[in-house]
Amino acid sequence: MRYLLIVLLGLLPVLAGAVDFDNATRHLPLGKALQVYEDLDGSASIAQV
């Protein structure tokens, strides 16, 4: 049983994926820990973010 749990926990990162934002994105159920910074003209540096 312990080995099954270890295998399942090892496979969880494989099932995770990146989130893609586009103009059609209206709702994403990601929880309460999501912040989006949109740099419209592309002038922001890493230090500013």
Q: With 80 as the cut, is the pLDDT of residue 18 above it?
A: no
pLDDT score, position 37: 82
Count of domains observed in the chain: 1
What is the reported pLDDT for 2? 92
3-class state of residue 29 by DSSP: coil
Mind listing the pLDDT tens digit for each residue in 23-49?
Answer: 888 887 777 777 778 888 888 888 887
36-47 CB burial, b ≥16 within 10 A, e <16: eeeeeeeeeeee
Distance CA 4, CA 10 (A): 10
